[in-house]
Structure 1
Amino acid sequence: MEDICISSSEKNGLQLHLCNTDKFKTISIMLTMKVPLQEDGITARAIIPHILNGGTTNYPNRKLLKQKLDEMYGANLSADALKKGEDHIITFRMEIPADRYLNVSNSLLKSSLDLLHEVVYSPILENGVFNTTIVEQEKRALKQRLTAIYNDKMLYAHVRLIEEMYKGEPYQLSAFGREEDLTSINAASIYQVYEELLQNARFDLFIVGAFDQSEVESMVQDVFSEQHNNKPIKMISSDRKDVNSVKVIQDKMDVKQGKLFLGYKTFSTIQDEDYEATRVANAIFGRFPSSKLFINVREKESLAYFALSHLESNIGLLMTMAGIEFANYERAVEIIREQEYAMKVGDFTETEIEQSKAMLINQLIEAYDTPLGIMDISIQAVDSGLSNNINDQIKRISMVSKSDVIRAANKWELDTIYFLNRKEEIK
């Protein structure tokens, strides 16, 4: 397959990742600011990208900033906070038409980088700190996002599993912060966290599209002229800490359907030699509609409205998720565990292995058809330290054998069972 090259370099401590390709008529830009997940300041960090997106020195409110983007041929700009493994990550994304398709004298890409830099480094201030009106507006918006998690019972169950499974560890924390912090944080305290973020965060800038690479490298060098904290990617620990006993957690709420989650420690992360084997194992286990969970829990036993599994490879977590009738709880857990044991003893065929590898490879190829997919692949390559060459990635998946899958699956240990049950009816 024709490869798409992603080159990485350092500019003033900022890590620059460029994918120069003619596949798209747009240029996509993503800036990430990464710091360790920690309780102190987490809610302030969650709100900072939205405050920054609310106004700059030259465009002091959201309306004027939007007008500026409209003038830039309908460019768009979004910001958010997320977590990946034990990192808290603030992201800014922009998409613009590629310069080569515009009849303009000045580079739109240069103007976009200038605006992105202004959003991050020159926010609208009031008495030397963030604008109070913007801060209070974004605090209300964050409260609404946190309420939305509670109202989405599947998402709520996901959050509760993480809280219980990683209690006392950084990964327990939500990327959105905590509602109880909203009363105590203010423009001054959030601005202090923002200044610390500029000093301590690792900056990665991803640009995908058609451009002159040397020109873009020079632009980034000039625009992001501050000296950034050149933090290396930390090694993710996959040391084995055996699970002493399975935690069983049950919450009761006014729900019409039970939400069942099983959380496994895989002891394999994106940096581990068993990473691809773990992905193939998960593909056979619960990732796709052809998987064991879907066929046995949903199709054969009719125990669940849906049943699937998901990997968080930056922390070594495997989750199974199912929506079930309340009375089916014990049987559903039993069937899910039977599929786990089947993986560990090799009760799956070579055909299942090849089918799962083909689907993973197809997903990888499809990802290269979108700018965001290319960025995600580049991020994974940065985190893993492995080649982002698509043919190398396909080869790594293709080489996984049945014994590799069995070895990876035998590392799995069930840590926590979480069930969101209904309230008992009062008679």
Structure 2
Amino acid sequence: MKTEHLQDDIHINVLPTTKFKTTTITLKFMAPLDSETTTARSILSKLLVRATKQWPTDKAFNRHLSHLYGAYVNSFVTKFKDKHVITISLELVNERYLKDQTPLFEKGLNLLKEIIWNPLITDGRFDEIFVAQEKSLLTKKLEAMVDNKSQISFLNLLKNMFGEQPYRHLATGQVEYIPSITPETLYHTYQSMLQNDYCAVYVVGNVDEAQVKQQLQSYFNINPFQFALTQTAKPLPKTQMPLEIIEEDVVDQAKLNMGFRLPAQYGDAEYFAMVVFNVMFGGDPSSVLFNEVREKQSLAYSIHSQIDAKNGYMFVLSGVSADKYKIARDTIIAEFEKFQKGQFEEEKLALAKKVILSQRQESHDRPKSIIEILNNNILLDTPMSEEAYLSGIQHVTKEDVQQLAQKVILDTIYILTKGGND
């Protein structure tokens, strides 16, 4: 997606700031989003931060963290555009604030190096007990989702909207793949991560940028990469739009979910109008869905919209009275059509912008959010500056929102409601 690459662009991004007393170091390993590999990668992400050759037990590993003034390490998996991402993050007290001269940053880098390059592997296999524990934990986590009607109905919306495409699945994986994962297969998953993944590294804290870049390069030998798309999850072409699916289950309230296709993605000219539209439509308690469907008409117990701006989708998720889901569905569609006709107040537009700018401001108070914002720049030829973002939001007009709404397509409606026999 990038058109050219500078020699020194090795995706090591350091943000020196005196805002925090801590330093956060984050590595992101990105592979194509593939149903066959996400579950194993999910388990791998947890194994890497549990034990290493040097600290081979939970106890030894945690004791070492406490020696680093209570350093905190965690890992999680996410979907990013069409990639599956393993994020490994370490948060340390900044050594400038210590009374003694402990080279804490360097010790932190040594710990991360140990996590990435020397995990607890013997003869080409991960530790059997740890693997069994992580498989069991993931199984329980994924099985618990089946009982969570909100989560399962969202996954059912994705399944109907995206068919067999890997985008329909959770980043954490699928239960059916867990039994076949072994200490040996995880070793291959790990090798593939090291050899084939894009890796980007971020550091946020009161540090010397040039020095840190040099250290990271020597510790991790990060290669430059051009962010290329493997496949973009497009919803299936539908003969009849929108597709509506109604399923029955033992539920207290109906789940009414809708999937929309947006005409733009992160970095496009219409991106800002898309963000503003989402907040006005259902992305905030000041939105029309919240006010009309929930407050005024009391049709929904909960309702909100959320966007995946990187891929150009918007989802409306709601819990409604089982006997009112048809009225709720029609009301949501009617509110959406008002945007297409430009039937909304300038004050609402101004309020939405205010909400977005204030949320953006808040995100700069958390190193984790700063890193996610920096990471989005991988998708762009030229990084988006903070000024460009703020200005882009401020310059969205009523016409921009209306024109965007006219190009938004309602793709799929999924309803999970009470069965007729209970």
Give the TM-score taking structure 2 as reference length. Answer: 0.93
SS across alignment from 1:343: helix
> Residues 77-110 of structure 1, C-alpha deviation per residue, up to 9 Å, x if partnerless?
0111111232100011111111110133342111
State the Cα distance separating 1:184 from its structure 2 match. 1.3
Deviation of residue 367 (structure 1)? 1.0
Determine the C-alpha separation between the residues in 2 that align with 1:10 and 1:83. Answer: 28
Aligned position for 1:358: 354
- The residue number in structure 1 matching 2:375 is 379
Match of 1:312 among 308, 311, 317: 308
State the distance in 1 between where 2:204 and 2:408 align: 37
Question: Which piece of structure 1 moves more, 382-391 or 25-34?
Answer: 382-391
- State the partner residue of 1:187: 183
Q: Measure the CA separation in 1 of the matches of 2:98 and 2:212.
A: 17
Match of 1:396 in 2: 392
3-state SS of the aligned residue for 1:382? helix
Q: Distance in 2 between matches of 1:183 and 1:23?
A: 46
**Matched length:** 417
- Give the Cα–Cα distance (whole angstroms) in 2 for the partners of residues 47 and 96 of structure 1: 25
The CA RMSD measured in Å over matched residues stands at: 2.1
For 2:401 and 2:231, how far apart are their aligned partners in 1?
A: 21
Instruction: State how far apart, in whole Å, the 1-side matches of 2:159 and 2:14 are.
Output: 37
Distance 2:158 2:182 in 1: 28
Letter in 1 for 2:366: T
Alpha-carbon distance in 2 for matches of 1:10, 1:204: 15
Q: TM-score, normalising length from structure 1?
A: 0.92
Rounded to whole Å, the distance in 2 between the matches of 1:281 and 1:410 is 11
Match of 1:297 in 2: 293
Distance 1:201 1:229 in 2: 11
Residues 1:417 and 2:413 are matched in the alignment = yes
- 1:221 shift after superposition: 1.6
* Aligned partners of 1:135 and 1:187 also within 8 Å: yes
Which among 241, 247, 252 is matched to residue 243 of structure 2? 247
Find the counterpart in structure 1 of residue 273 from structure 2.
277
Q: Secondary structure at the match of 1:41?
A: helix
Distance in structure 1 (CA, Å) of the matches to 2:230 and 2:291: 37
- The answer on 1:230 being equivalent to 2:195 is no
Aligned partners of 1:351, 1:361: CA distance in 2, in Å?
Answer: 15
The whole-number CA distance in structure 1 between the counterparts of 2:212 and 2:27 is 15
Aligned to 1:81: 77
Question: Contact between 2:249 and 2:417, CA under 8 Å: does it hold in 1?
Answer: yes
Q: CA deviation at 1:350?
A: 1.4
| Residue segments in structure 2 that go unaligned for 5+ positions in a row | none
Q: Deviation digits for residues 147-169 of structure 1, max 9, x if unmatched?
A: 12222221221122112211122
Q: Could you say if the C-alpha distance between residues 363 and 94 of structure 1 is closer, same or farther in structure 2, counting changes exceeding 3 Å? A: same
Distance apart, 1:390 and its partner CA: 2.0
2: distance between equivalents of 1:221 and 1:340? 49
Conservation of the 8 A alpha-carbon contact between 1:311 and 1:317: yes
Within-5 A mapping of 1:36-115? 36-115=32-111
For residues 291 and 235 of structure 1, the distance between their equivalents in structure 2, rounded to whole angstroms, comes to 35
